[in-house]
Amino acid sequence: MKVLCFGSLNIDYVYAVPHFVQRGETLSADTLQTFTGGKGLNQSIALARAGAEVWHAGAIGADGAFLADALQEAGVHTEHIETLPEVHTGHAIIQKSADGDNCILLYGGANQAVTPEQIDRTLAQFSADDLLVAQNEISALSHLLQRAKARGLRVALNPSPMDENLPTLLPLADYLLLNEIEASQLLRCDADSDPERMLAQLHKRYPDAMIVLTLGAQGALCTDGEAILRQSAIPVKAVDTTAAGDTFTGFFLAGLLEGQNAAQAMRFAAAAAAIAVTQPGAAPSIPTRKKVLSSGAFCDILAE
């Protein structure tokens, strides 16, 4: 089975700030660092480091060649990344606060120049029962998901960032992975609503999908309709939470693909995310499979 992650590739500009900039405020940043990023790139690297064989598809500008290099170094196949010299690579401006939290401003760039023709060329190399992993940071997402389902691929969708077009696409997902903010936007309820109630409402809307609801420091919930699985967050001192969700997504899906049950895959993902938040940057913070399996949080998984 092959995994195709068709998603964004970004250059991340990370500014360390004492607090997030407020309306009308001018604030000096303490440092500026540049990292590889994009939810698609992050999830591809997480999948590969977790042990899956992954192909990444997407688009970059001439300024983004180092993003493809980073994917290759992580073991990701990159022949489906297209370079578009007439556009800039997508990028993100990230404020990182003193307590390790972040807020992000995205510029789509080449990510928003993905065409149906590129999608068709790429999907022609994949077949039934392969897995497509997608997010909402590229253009032509509807075409991607519909064509993938028509070819018999399974679809894992991280509906981020949420927008008004996504609800019509969510029924195409076999795996739906989202956080409490995205769930509240989708359900039109408060972000601090009861997570189990939100999960139940999501399952009612999308009964054919395995749904994972991530809750930050409160852990994560998962259901396939038969039961609700709860996974606590592993307590660590957070340095940078930028790629925590992407790390969780990649390791969770990789765990399922290698035969772990949902509870084991949740633990695998939680351990990986806990390690990721102790390191700066997005993709550079994502741990290897070996590091996760040897960690105290997850060293017994292979014995189960």
Q: Which of 36, 78, 76 is CA-nearest to residue 59?
A: 78
Residues belonging to the chain: 304
Q: Do the beta carbons of residue 58 and residue 67 sit within 8 Å?
A: no
Please, which residues have CB within 8 angstroms of residue 184's CB and are 6 or more apart in sequence?
190, 191, 193, 198
Query: What is the spatial distance between Cα 90 and Cα 210, in angstroms, rounded to a whole number?
Result: 30
Please, which residues have CB within 8 angstroms of residue 281's CB and are 6 or more apart in sequence?
12, 14, 33, 35, 240, 242, 243
> Counting Cβ atoms within 10 Å, is residue 156 exposed (0-12), middle (13-18) or buried (19+)?
buried
Among 12, 130, 240, 246, the one annotated catalytic: 246
Query: What is the spatial distance between Cα 123 and Cα 148, in angstroms, rounded to a whole number?
Result: 7
For the question of residue 246 being annotated catalytic, the response is: yes
The residues that are catalytic are: 246
